[in-house]
Amino acid sequence: MKTVILIIFTSIFLSACSPSVQEPTTGTTPEVPKASAQQAVAMPDTFSADAAMQVLKDGGNAVDAAITAQFVLAVTLPEAGNLGGGGFMTISMDGSPDFLDYREMAPASAHRDMYLDEEGNVKFIESLFGAKASGIPGTVAGMWEAHKKYGTLPWSRLVAPAVELAEQGFIVPDKLANNIQWYMGRLQERGLESNFGDYFGSAVAGERFFQPELANTLKSIQQQGPAGFYEGIVANKIVAFMEANGGLITLEDLKAYNAVWRAPLTLSWNDYTLVTAPPPSSGGVAVAQWIGMLDVYAESHELPEHNSAEYLHIMSEIGKRVFADRAEYLGDPDFVDVPVSQLVNHDYIAMRAGEIQQDSPSSTPDIEPGLVESEDTTHFSVMDKWGNAVANTTTINLTFGAGVVVTGAGFLLNDEMDDFSAKPGVPNFFGAVGGDANAIQPYKRMLSSMTPTLVTDDKGVVLVTGSPGGTTIISSVTQSLLNGLLFEFDANTAVNAPRFHHQLLPENTIRMHDGFDENVVSTLEGMGYVIDNRRFGDVHLIKRTPEGLDAASEASGRGKSIVLDAVETE
């Protein structure tokens, strides 16, 4: 394999980078290959797939389609689609990469120890359930920013399909009905009080489900843009709900929220450029390190066979180091200095790859951050007929977020505050630990693993990918990239090949999908790994091939992918 050369898209970095860094080409319109006369969507449900494709058929671009998908998912995929959450959007428009951060922010009165009891122990439930678990939602501001910068169809047209689905109802898919029943059972088991059942308890598989309050909130957003959410009636409802339920978000907090355009993290890999998520996501740095260390390893060894025991072991060895760095260095770049250029520097990655033990797992407690120092999110991918692309990952954190609905406004709140480090060294829900860099501070964004990613070559965008799954997102994205471009699988195989994940803690534990060869599993167990069989992720991927676009949604979810010749749209 060729050397990975990592590039960050900031002048700060370009002045400090190593000689191997290449300046990426920007602002040029790549030659659009014939294959891109097609358009494609890979979506987490059928409603978002159909609505987004209709936007493309109506002449909208990839960002227009993404905005529609985001709002539709707030109606039809309440487990993760949202108005009350946030996310990241990675964009390629006219050949230029861009990145929109609409991650939630901590309210002004949030503070470092807000989830600790008198003895200093973490009160987990408070960062995961109920109003106090919520950061200031970013989705509406994010979609508005995306529309202002890149949208071509009118805002009200793009929000309309969501209004209609909330007002006129939609036929409830079995998987949604099952998830709602499961969640209501869980709330009951744990004795948690919530209005969730009042809003979702009447959803029955195969029957039409109406959400009149959500429809009104969406209409307010449709007519007034962000002012229809962050000010006025909807804002008052959010604040009244916070005051009645021990939440922290105030009217000032809602007004203070801003979505931010950031330079995406870009890295040159073989003949490709990867365009991915910078901090406050940990995902781009982690993917860069994971792919980079595999590359270095493969310079002196045969590239391990796909999904062989050696492949899983080497990738787990890399994962240990990736997650040790994540815990120490990653956080909101508006609050802490994240040493991104050092973490993705080729020499540093080569040094870390040199620590990999080929035949046995490295001792977990010995893996330290390496710089010398001194379960529900959703993803979708879109490509339009001009070759523009969007990879968008959005979340309210766990399935159904904080489990409570803003009374009268009809939408679920996020429980994203759990993504902060409530106490140094104490794992959050996803088993991720952290320290000062990700400590809670007013208006800070909590560290994320969401990694919406695009890959380009000299003809334009060649792959669009992303996934939900907390910290496992990083593995899903890394492996979908490797599957699609290194192992050259088609889209369907790239998203459905069994995946695995290792993240330093729990010690020597590899989370694995079903479907691996039994010998691979027994070899890994023989090496001392513990196998955790819980499935993770829901990848939605589009790949450009010489024959045309190829799109796939992971079969275990309720996704739908569509590829259409542009000519069919007339």
Reported residue count of the chain is 570
Sheet (strand 453-457) strand order: 5-8, 265-269, 272-276, 453-457, 460-465, 540-545, 548-553
The yes or no reply on residue 450 touching ligand DON (CB under 6 A) is: yes
Contact status, residue 127 vs residue 135, Cβ threshold 8 Å: no
The residues annotated with a catalytic role in the active site are 377
Backbone dihedral angles phi then psi of residue 537, each to the nearest 5 degrees = 85, 165
The yes or no reply on residue 84 touching ligand DON (CB under 6 A) is: no
The yes or no reply on residue 470 touching ligand DON (CB under 6 A) is: yes
CA dihedral in degrees (462, 466, 472, 476; nearest 10)? -30
Contact status, residue 438 vs residue 103, Cβ threshold 8 Å: no
The yes or no reply on residue 469 touching ligand DON (CB under 6 A) is: yes
The yes or no reply on residue 226 touching ligand DON (CB under 6 A) is: no
The yes or no reply on residue 145 touching ligand DON (CB under 6 A) is: no
The yes or no reply on residue 56 touching ligand DON (CB under 6 A) is: no
Contact status, residue 149 vs residue 478, Cβ threshold 8 Å: no
User: Segment near ligand DON (CB under 6 A), from 224-232, 241-249, 373-381, 524-532?
Assistant: 373-381
Site track for ligand DON across 247-286, x = CB under 6 A = ----------------------------------------
The yes or no reply on residue 434 touching ligand DON (CB under 6 A) is: no
The residue type found at 167 is: E
The yes or no reply on residue 397 touching ligand DON (CB under 6 A) is: yes
The first and second tokens of residue 497, run together, are 């090949």
Please return the burial class of 150, using the count of CB atoms within 10 Å of its CB with bins 0-12, 13-18 and 19+: buried
Size of the site for ligand DON (CB under 6 A): 14
Q: Output 346 or 445, the one with its CB closest to ligand DON.
A: 445
User: Segment near ligand DON (CB under 6 A), from 206-214, 292-300, 469-477, 488-496?
Assistant: 469-477
We find the least distance from the C-beta atom of residue 310 to ligand DON, in angstroms, to be 29
Contact status, residue 131 vs residue 413, Cβ threshold 8 Å: yes
Backbone dihedral angles phi then psi of residue 40, each to the nearest 5 degrees = -145, 150
The yes or no reply on residue 419 touching ligand DON (CB under 6 A) is: yes
We find the least distance from the C-beta atom of residue 532 to ligand DON, in angstroms, to be 15
| One residue of 278, 434, 468, 559 binding ligand DON per CB under 6 A | 468
| One residue of 134, 217, 307, 449 binding ligand DON per CB under 6 A | 449
| One residue of 70, 216, 289, 377 binding ligand DON per CB under 6 A | 377
User: Segment near ligand DON (CB under 6 A), from 149-157, 269-277, 433-441, 466-474?
Assistant: 466-474
Kindly state the helix (H) or strand (E) to which residue 295 belongs, with its residue range: helix 283-300
Give alpha helix (H) positions in 301-360.
Answer: 309-329, 340-343, 346-353
Residues that bind ligand DON (CB under 6 A): 375-377, 395, 397, 416, 419, 448-450, 468-470, 473
